[in-house]
Structure 1
Amino acid sequence: MTTTAQETAPHSRPRDEGSAVRRHELAAFLRSRRERIAPEQVGLPRGRRRRTPGLRREEVAQLSAVGVTWYTWLEQARDIQVSVQVLDALARALLLDPTERAHLFQLAGAVDPTPATACPSVTPALRSVLEQFEPYPACVQNSRYDILAHNRTYGLLLCDLEAVPPEDRNCMVLSFTHDEWRSSIVHLEETQRVMAARFRASMATHLGEPAWKMLLKRLSAQSPDFREAWDRHEVVAHRGKRKEFLNRYVGRVRVDHTDLWLGPGAGPRMVTYVPADEASRERLERLHAIALERGPTSPG
């Protein structure tokens, strides 16, 4: 493959701040993926004098059939044009899985084949669905993990959500900084790592947006655990999973987590927790009864 049309010198025209942030994210992501691949995985000899963890830059360039200088510019966050063909070659050379490949294309500013959709408002009908899901916990979240609405059982599942200021009702903030919420998650470290990876994947299309940057800045300033997870540069797909919580009122609860998407894109979703066993079902019913005694939830 020839790359003369793609290996152009860095542009001098002014670019928006989001593009600059995206280029630096792309550079860091490429480095992290390159350094995790052993030479033997791609059929290259290790040699005795290898100092670089994983692959060298020239090896990635060779495997992708692009120029070494051009690939170096990419890892230096230079302002250069990247074609879909080159992105495809890099994804294959770096052994990216489907989620990582999508993340690469987003960071490079390539057109996503899935049409984007705007986040819908939380309508009365949607709130009614949340209530109908009781006694099981459910809430509506956006891709930034803001809790937009929740039913009464969810409001007592990990903490007293009504006591949390509306501006702090964000699952990332709560999972990394709120003591009661954190203590309610049985597998906290694994949960935090997956959430950070999902947040990174979602943020690729929102890098220049103030709300996303403010949330990232807040988490980085307030949580060493978040900084450690964020520095891994991991991205994962959204998927259902069994979870375990230790509720202050009813004890251990095991649930199956499902995201019900409210549009074709990876944006707003209804998060539902269905009991994974009979004991958990009985405990969620007791938790719902306690929540009913405490009165209705607030709108947000």
Structure 2
Amino acid sequence: MLARTAANLYWMSRYLERAENLARVLEVNQGLAWLKAARPGEDMAAPLRLTDSEAAFAAQHGAELTPAALWAFLGFSAHPASIRSCLARARDNADAARDALTGEMWQAIHATWLGMQAAIDAPPADPANFADWVKERSQLFRGITYGAIHRNDAYRFIRLGTFIERADNTARLLKLRYRGHRAGMADHYGLMALLESVSAQDAYLAVYHDTVSAPKVAELLLLNPDAPRSLAACFAEIRQILPQIGGPRGRAAKKRATELAAALEYGELQDILAHGLQNYLGEFLDQLTQLNDELHAAYMEAA
């Protein structure tokens, strides 16, 4: 496969996953802001901190945070972190890799972009409906991909982009929202928001049958291989995908991915907490950045 095609497929998938993740975060954040005990002003800034866009938001909307302003900025504006920009870049990458996609996949991407354009022209009265639509479009594309495309390197780069982006999102959300053992209803709401932001509230109840606690949330999202958006689940997939990509390249990326997967598979929560969860997640995100760079150098840059 040509390096540029691999890069287009990888980033198409990452941008779709990013749009879905951001839609879920904005939807959950809006609900959290309505709860007085949740310290609305602080929690409402979470999507801006997650996307490193606080300064850009303030330049456009001033210091006042409202759900409407957040949706306008991170949903429909041309800012690079917005859902609109993510879907535009997914569409552009799909067009550049048109020959590697099935007709159904390409049509799904373009139908999503047409729907996004309609939302830009007439923003929905209820942003929650828009968030549901974004999630459904991303999930539809994944379903079409899984059911329609030949299991070749194109499929593998699409799946690789999904799980790299998903791991990045889960790690950043956990780093942002985890406050350790501090007591209080605000922290309870924050933990619930974290679980809802990665669609893990049902998984938590299925595993623990208990009230929400910070260590158990961390254990679920870090080490549980059966929670689809956990770091362990993402790297179990990545470790399977990389050896299937043809050619002699990618030894450094495969080595790093294997080491990260093994550390998550055999890791112990008490060791992570003793090291400091914020330290652990910062180091993990650095490793993920290096893995992304190694993947680019091995497969997505012209030799």
Larger radius of gyration: 1
> TM-score of the superposition, structure 2-length normalised?
0.25
> TM-score of the superposition, structure 1-length normalised?
0.25
| Higher relative helix content | 2
Q: Which has the higher contact order (CA 8 A, sep 6+)?
A: 2
| Higher relative strand content | 1
